[in-house]
Amino acid sequence: MTPHRAFAAIAFAALACASLAWAAAGRAEAAGTLAQPVTLNTNITVEDRTVTLGDIFSGLDERADTAIANAPEPGRQVRLTASWLARVAKAYRVDWQPHSPAVETTVRRAAHRIGRTRIGQAIGRVLAERGIDGNLSIVLDNPGLSLTLPTTVPATVSVANLAYDRSSGRFSANVLAPDVNDPKASATITGRAVHMVDVPVPIRRIGRGELIHEDDLEWISMPANQVNRNHLTDAASIVGKSARRSVRPGEPLRMTDVRKPVVVAKNSLVTITFKTDRMQLTAQGRALDDGAKGEAVRVINTKSKTTVTGIATAADTVSVKP
């Protein structure tokens, strides 16, 4: 039976009882019909298990608290048509009539929704109690799972019968809300507990040869099985280095992606120095490679067109040994 039909069946039974009660009271009580203006409420939300006359109509007297039907299930709603509303008004002697057959209203039951985040947190707490802690990400096989509770109970969730495989990270469990002793909603879940590690990544595009500063980085969490020993997991090993290639925002860096700051840039004009105990010569050259301080760089003498290999010793300076 749909929520609307269930609501209507219960409401019709209430209407029948109300009609009998009013018939037994006789015509002498006809003067008791409500005289003050009555209006229909729209988009009605209730929190309790029952719908009252005052939930549906405004402007009533003490009869506003009269329960006329069970409310829908938490989080569900029913549509009340003009004909149904008219019968309610007649049965309870409410001075109201629909002005059109199109008049309607809805009754929705307020609810707490406990989604995957809070369910995952509950799983994580139980795993931590068993000594399986650290930076864990709980991944449910059904990410759309949620538990729906009435707002009259706490929005809490408990875990029972948790089975966990350390080698694969797989788990299964029962989740019950608000607790295991008085569950209003429950589900059996499966998923994985993924160990995560924090990794520094660029927050912007960094060009080839550009120096990397501390404020160029942010931290993200990655599954541990996606991070290997070639990844840089310490900001100190990145800050102050230059990029060997262009790197994208959010891209984890590897050892081969950074280097010491380049002091000699490829295709730049450099000073070639040649020094012995007795003399020192200099010449102008053009670098054929990028080079950090202490790295070997090939340069071509712009006058003789001779290519030599030296060591980058300072900005735009290459020293050639005899």
Q: Specify whether 105 is located in the same domain as 15.
A: yes
CB within 8 Å of 117: residues ≥ 6 apart: none
Q: Which residue, of 239, 259, 279, is where some domain finishes? A: 259
Q: Which amino acid is at 171?
A: F
The DSSP-derived string for 93-142 is: T-S---SSTT--EEEEE-EEEE-HHHHHHHHHHHHHHTT--SSEEEEESS
Q: Does one domain contain both 207 and 282?
A: no
Asked whether residue 295 falls in the same domain as residue 269, the answer is yes
The residue out of 144, 174, 196 marking a domain boundary is 196
- Give the end of a domain, one of 94, 109, 124: 109
What's 272's domain CATH number?
2.30.30.760
pLDDT in tens, 64-82: 999 999 999 999 999 999 9
Over residues 197-241, the pLDDT tens digits come to 999 999 999 998 899 999 999 999 999 999 999 999 999 999 999
Greater model confidence, 318 or 6: 318
**301: left (phi > 0), else alpha (psi -120 to 50), else beta?**
beta
For 62, the 3-state DSSP assignment is helix
The mean pLDDT value for 249-255 works out to 95
35 three-class SS:
coil
Structural domain count, the chain: 4
Contact indicator for 85, 69 with CB cutoff of 8 Å:
no
Domain co-membership, 9 together with 88: yes
Residues 214 and 269 in one domain: no
| Domain match, 148 and 63 both | no
Instruction: Show the domain range for 254.
Output: 197-259
Nearest residue to 64 (alpha-carbon basis) of 55, 74, 77, 76: 55
Q: Are residues 53 and 146 in the same domain?
A: no
Q: Are residues 206 and 154 in the same domain?
A: no
Helix (H, G, I), strand (E, B) or coil at 147: strand
